Structure formats: structure tokens, C-alpha cells
Amino acid sequence: MRCRSASAGRSESDMLRPEFAAALAKAGEAHTLAREEIVLLLGAEGEEAAALFRAADQVRAAHLGPEVHLRAIIEFSNHCARNCLYCGLRRDNRRIRRYRMTPQEILAAAHRARQGGYRSIVLQSGEDPGFALDDLARVVKRIKETLDVAVTLSLGDRSRDDYRRLRDAGADRYLLKHETADPALFARLRPGTTLESRLERLRWLQELGYQVGAGSIVGLPGQTCETLAADILLLQSIGVEMAGIGPFIPHPDTPLGSSPPGSTDTTLKVLAVTRLLLPHTHLPATTALAVLDPDGRRRALAAGANVVMPDVTPAPYRQHYAIYPGRSRPQGEGEASFARWERELRAIGRQVGTGYGHILRRGSPRGS
Ligand code: SAH
Ligand code: SF4
């Protein structure tokens, strides 16, 4: 998807259009834009795209510094009761080998990650009613009691009471991407559910005291540039602490298997504009970007991102967490290695974040 009409009519090497430069300056200073201005920025090509990425990088540096937070992700179950049209874990996909790690296996994986250097663990799964909530709450409690790490959950839609019990067990954060701000597209792609109920859950999570993450998929069939702008404005109106923004990657065993993938460039532009409007929010260089483009994570880190979520799911499970193809260890076997990430980040002038990587208090400049 290109967010620019042919009638804009300038070659990619041209200087910045005056209206583009004005919107970019406004975003960098006031961190607010109207929807048309966001669409204008998303239409950046050539010099304009380079200027957009630079501006996002500057806002990231000014508000968050050089630190990149590493969050080790453990994908502990690929069972899913939902049937999202884009996802390989969907209920009707019979070609996937299902697994569910035991609480002991999850604890062991978390221990290994902590020993390797990680201070932040993400537990993710399909919407798996077969994993007892009591067991899950015990796993969270045990990790919090024994490991001195931040715990993020990403388990999809659950009841308010479930969220409360997991929060009581010690979970710090919850990732629940809104996926798309277009209610009709949301309902079509996630049968049996609505954008409204997703947003209601995000509110519950905030009320329960979680640090909350939402985010979207870029390049879904039927999406428009206006929708991408609405995604960004929605993140801003929710006031998220984290936002995962990744390209759509078609999975052959889903109804969207023959749709084209999202574009890396468009995803980077959505990420960059999000950084301009949400200067304090944690924005990962997503795995999906790394799968589409071997250089995708580095490019994202240079366009506003300040988080990487290495996959530390143990073998033999990780290959079966096939949300989309190509996911298993995008950086090869070194993907899970904290030490390797330290080296790679140093090589691009960044450093691993110390501590848990909680969000800085909104509105407070860095260091105050
Ligand atoms: N079941 C939970 C968490 C696991 S799915 C949930 O749905 O919230 C994690 C994320 O994978 C989803 O939020 C979605 O944004 C992303 N995802 C799923 N299929 C994808 C695909 N084909 N391309 C890109 N991202 C995808
Ligand atoms: Fe299940 Fe999440 Fe995939 Fe939807 S996106 S099918 S809820 S794992």
C-alpha cells in the first residue's frame, strides 16, 4: 500500500514539500497531528521518508535515550479458540501441530532467560482455554517471586476477572493489540468479536493497573492509509505505554494466504509517525519486520523503536508457534542470546536498557 496519490507527481529525490515539512515540524514539537497530516506523512517517499525517519529517531533519542529494552518472549501455547483470518494459530488450521508447555517448562525457560541477562519476560499464547487460569496465575507469581523480572502477558481476550487475578499474581503489563482501528475490518478479520470489545478490554487492563500495550498490523487486505492514520490516533487516545506495529505476513494455511504481504517501508513510516506522536511509548522493532526484511529490526531502531523482543521459546516448541511463516528465530540461533544483542546494539550506537524497562513518567523529561 502506498499512501500517496500519483497526482502528488514529484520524483522521489525531490526536496520536502512545504506542507510535508510543516506537518513534520509540528509533529516533532507538539506531538499532535490531524488525521490528514498523518496521511501526508505516511505518503513520504525518498527525501521525505529519510526526513521522517530522522525526526522519529531524534524524538526517540531526546525522550528515551540510547537504551533498547530487551524483552524475552516465551510462546507457551499455540492452542487458540479464535479464528482470526490472518493468523496461522487460528482454530480451523488443522495443519499446525499444537503444543502447550507445562508450568515447569515455562518456569525453566524464564529461569534460563533471567540467567542469560534478561530482566523482562513476555508470556504469549493463543486464546487457550485449556491452560487453567490457576496454573497461569501460579506461574506468574512464581516468576515474580523468584526472578526479579518484569512480566508482560499477551494472552488475548479474557474476562475482567481473569485479568484481575493475573494482575494480583504480579503481572506488570499486558499486550493486546487493537489490530486495526477500522471496526468493519476488525469484525471481518476476527470473527465473533468486535473492536469495541477489544477497546473495552484495554480499558479494563488500564483500570487494573497494568501497563498496557496495543498496536496494529500494517498491510491487511482492505486497509487504507486513512485507517493507518486512525490506528495511530487510537494509540494516542488510549494513552498506551507500548505499541506493537508489524507488517501483515500471509500464512498459506489461512483464508488470507494468497493476499500480498504488508510493506516494510509503510510499516516503518507508521512506526515513525507513532514515535513522533507518542514520544514516551515503548515501541518494539517487531519480529514481523525482521521476517520480511533481514535488516528490518535495525531499520526500525533507527526510525523510533526502542524495544526488541527476542524469541526464547525452547525447542521443539518454537517452530510450531507459526502465527506467520518464517518466525522461528529470525536472527538464527543467536536470536535468544542476550550477549549477542548487547554486541549488535553497541555496533549501532545503542545500549541495552538496564532495569525492568518500565515506562518513564509521562510528561517528565528524561533524567528528571
Ligand atoms: N492470541 C493473542 C496473542 C498472540 S497473537 C492475541 O491475538 O492477542 C500475537 C499477534 O500476532 C497478534 O496481536 C497479531 O497482531 C499478530 N499476527 C497474527 N497473525 C499475523 C500475521 N499473519 N501477520 C502479522 N502479524 C500477525
Ligand atoms: Fe488466536 Fe491471537 Fe492468532 Fe487470533 S491472532 S488466531 S487470537 S493467536
Taking 70 as the threshold, does the pLDDT of residue 11 lie above it? no
CB 87 less than 6 A from any atom of ligand 1: yes
Taking 90 as the threshold, does the pLDDT of residue 134 lie above it? yes
The CA distance from 55 to 25, in Å, is: 9
Tell me the per-residue pLDDT of 56-95, one tens digit each, with 9 for 90 and over: 999 999 999 999 999 999 999 999 999 999 999 999 999 9
CA proximity to 328, closest of 313, 344, 306, 307: 313
CB 80 less than 6 A from any atom of ligand 2: yes
Looking at the CA of 250, name the nearest ligand: 1
- Kindly indicate the confidence band of residue 176, based on its pLDDT and cuts at 50, 70 and 90: very high
CA end-to-end span of the chain, whole Å? 41
The CA distance from 34 to 14, in Å, is: 24
Which residues are 68's β-sheet partners? 352
Residues contacting 186, CB < 8 A, separation 6+: 178, 179, 180, 193, 194, 195, 198
Segment 274-298 mean pLDDT: 96
pLDDT of 334 reads 80
pLDDT of 367 reads 31
Tell me the per-residue pLDDT of 18-70, one tens digit each, with 9 for 90 and over: 999 999 999 999 999 999 999 999 999 999 999 999 999 999 999 999 999 99
154 Cα to the center of ligand 1, angstroms: 10
pLDDT of 14 reads 66
In degrees and rounded to multiples of 5, residue 106 shows phi and psi of: -65, -45
Tell me the per-residue pLDDT of 323-364, one tens digit each, with 9 for 90 and over: 999 887 677 778 889 999 999 999 999 999 987 777 655 444
- Kindly indicate the confidence band of residue 13, based on its pLDDT and cuts at 50, 70 and 90: low
The CA distance from 216 to 284, in Å, is: 12
Nine cell digits for residue 209: 493497573
pLDDT of 70 reads 97
Tell me the per-residue pLDDT of 237-278, one tens digit each, with 9 for 90 and over: 999 999 999 999 999 999 999 999 999 999 999 999 999 999
Which residues are 245's β-sheet partners? 216
Q: Which atom of ligand 1 is nearest to the CA of 175?
A: 8
Q: List the chain domain ranges.
A: 60-352
Within 10 A of 236 (CB to CB), how many other CB atoms are there?
17
In degrees and rounded to multiples of 5, residue 129 shows phi and psi of: -70, -15
The CA distance from 272 to 348, in Å, is: 18
CB 176 less than 6 A from any atom of ligand 1: yes
Task: Please tell me the CATH superfamily of domain 60-352, with its number.
Answer: Aldolase class I (3.20.20.70)
CB 217 less than 6 A from any atom of ligand 1: yes
Measured at the alpha carbon of residue 244, what is the angle toward residues 315 and 72, in degrees to the nearest 5?
A: 35
Segment 91-104 mean pLDDT: 98
Residue 345 one-letter amino acid: L
Segment 231-242 mean pLDDT: 98
Looking at the CA of 248, name the nearest ligand: 1
Torsion of CA 244, 119, 172, 304, to 10 degrees: -30
20 Cα to the center of ligand 1, angstroms: 33
Q: Percent of the chain scored above 70 by pLDDT? A: 94
Q: Pick from 83, 85, 89, 175 the residue to mutate for probing ligand 2's pocket: most ligand atoms within 8 Å of its CB.
A: 89
Three-state DSSP state, 59: helix
pLDDT of 207 reads 98
Within 10 A of 221 (CB to CB), how many other CB atoms are there?
18
DSSP conformation letters of 156-188:
-S--HHHHHHHHHTT--EEE---B-S-HHHHHH
Segment 10-17 mean pLDDT: 69
Q: H-type helices in the chain, by residue range?
A: 18-30, 35-42, 46-64, 103-116, 133-147, 160-168, 183-189, 195-207, 225-238, 264-277, 287-292, 296-301, 338-347
Looking at the CA of 215, name the nearest ligand: 1
CB 282 less than 6 A from any atom of ligand 1: no
CA distances from 295 to 273, 312, 364 (A): 20, 20, 33
